[in-house]
Amino acid sequence: MNEKPTLTSTVKALLYLLPALIILGVFNIYPIIKSFLMSLYTDYDYFNDVVNEYGFDNFVYIFQDPEFWLSMKNTIIFVIGVVPISIAISLAIAILLNAKIKFKGLFRTIYFIPFVTSVVAISIVWRWIFHTDYGLLNYFLGLFGVSPIEWLTDPTWAMPSLIILSIWKGLGYNIVIFLAGLQNINKQYYLAAQIDGASSWRRFLHITVPLLSSTTFFISIVSIINSFKVFDEVFALFDGKPGPAYSAQTVVYYIFENFYNNWEFGIASAAAYVLFIVIFIFTLIQLYIGKRKVTY
């Protein structure tokens, strides 16, 4: 039986929520408001913490800054390179792990390890794998007659290197979510399709894909948001640099560079808000598509 909220019950509920509200307010809401205000700083005395002038000059600056547009372009290339491939590979592996195979638990653990491992540790290993002279990847490519590739020092190959690393690192999380989605599909659908003579491909296309659409939708939203915010992998893989000739500089790296190295807090905050708006627009587009395509 639902009871109408009263003043007493509302106050009691707020008191229960108060610790969480305080934490959210201090560590989430306040930084958001503060960074927005900082994006409007056009004349700021850092040593005395005095703002002499507010305005939109920082937004004008970043829209005229070629480095910002290069960072945005690199970020979008990264998102396009990582998200679809990562989802496709994760789904394929999840389907294999969901089948009746031996050592299923071992394989699940192996695939999930990259997700819980430090990005720095992973990047150190991949720097060795990508090494031009001693790297494992060039060694295997050499078996097929491919000349050594300068993965981390050639601007052409810097972004593909970053994409490969990020796909590999993100597989574990996506696989676990896909496995949960696959196990929620009623087996009766597959049995009925088998009786009707449907092939494996048609069962995948007409049963697995539609009934897994909500899971795929969730993973795509999370993956796109995380990919737009990529920074750790860039910093660790290229030893604190944004790749050769800024070929792997992303928007978050641009924000980091302006905030911590150049002390341009207003520009960094403005870039952060532009990135927020871009992510927000992409998420709205996904929600719009999801309403029409996702089966619940």
Instruction: Average the pLDDT over 33-53 and give the result.
Output: 84
Percent of the chain with pLDDT over 90: 37
- Report the mean per-residue pLDDT for the chain: 88
Per-residue pLDDT band for 21 (boundaries 50, 70, 90) equals very high
Would you call 57 exposed, middle or buried from its count of C-beta atoms within 10 A (0-12, 13-18, 19+)?
middle
Rounded CA separation 267/257 (Å): 10
What local confidence, expressed as pLDDT, does residue 63 receive?
Answer: 93
Q: Average pLDDT, stretch 1-17?
A: 81
Q: What are phi and psi of 185, to 5 degrees?
A: -80, 130
pLDDT given at position 2? 59
**Which has the closest alpha carbon to 167: 216, 124, 226?**
226
pLDDT of residue 254: 94
Looking at residue 89, its pLDDT comes to 93
Check residues 227 and 2 and name the one with the higher pLDDT.
227
Domain boundaries, the chain: 7-54, 63-291
Least confident range of 96-105, 155-164, 281-290: 96-105
Averaged pLDDT for residues 225-233 = 91
- Give the pLDDT band of residue 111 (cuts 50, 70, 90): confident
Q: Which fold has domain 63-291?
A: MetI-like fold (1.10.3720)
* % of residues, the chain, pLDDT over 70: 98
What pLDDT, on a 0 to 100 scale, did the predictor assign at position 5? 76
Nearest to 67 by CA among 277, 282, 264, 279: 264
